[in-house]
Amino acid sequence: MSNAMLNELQREAAITKGVLERVPEDKFAWKPHEKSMSAGQLAMHIATIPAGMCRLAVLDEFDVASANPNPPFPASREELLKALETSVAAASEYFGALTPEAGSATWRLTAQGREIVAMPRIEMLRSLLLNHWYHHRGQLSVYLRLLDVAVPVIYGRSADERPFG
């Protein structure tokens, strides 16, 4: 497995931790819309994406019909940050052990036996793990803004933090 993706995982984990640390515990149940996940559920989903997607990546095929669309609700920020730490450690171990052969092997997403997509496992990790992770982290940064919580630097600067002066 390329060191570039492992390095990216580690770098992005630190950024993700900074975002998760800002989610107020007393707002874990808050939702911006009735169809949205609560802030706590979204935060827990973000914390567990790396390990969860690696558990799927070891399979040759995953049927989306068996997915749980309702992430658990964290009891505390401590639980949330511990989940992230555990998840990133599991993903780092998986990334570090992934051989070029396993990375290039075809991985399939199906729905009740019908193929939705087939791609090399490494592309699945890029798309369904890393890009998925960033997407939800961006969602959570909007939740923070709506809750009037200072949004940390993700890339460059935020309206609340200017690391370059």
pLDDT in tens, 32-88: 999 999 999 999 999 999 999 999 999 999 999 888 878 889 999 999 999 999 999
Considering only the C-alpha atoms of the chain, give the largest distance between any 2 of them, rounded to a whole number of Å: 54
Rounded to whole angstroms, how far apart are CA atoms 61 and 31? 33
Q: What pairing do the DSSP bridges indicate for beta strands 106-111 and 114-120? A: antiparallel
* All domains of the chain in start order, with CATH: 3-26+34-146 (1.20.120.450)
pTM confidence score:
0.94
| 117-137 per-position pLDDT tens digit | 999 999 999 998 999 999 999
8-state DSSP, 158:
-
Question: Residue 116 corresponds to which amino acid?
Answer: I
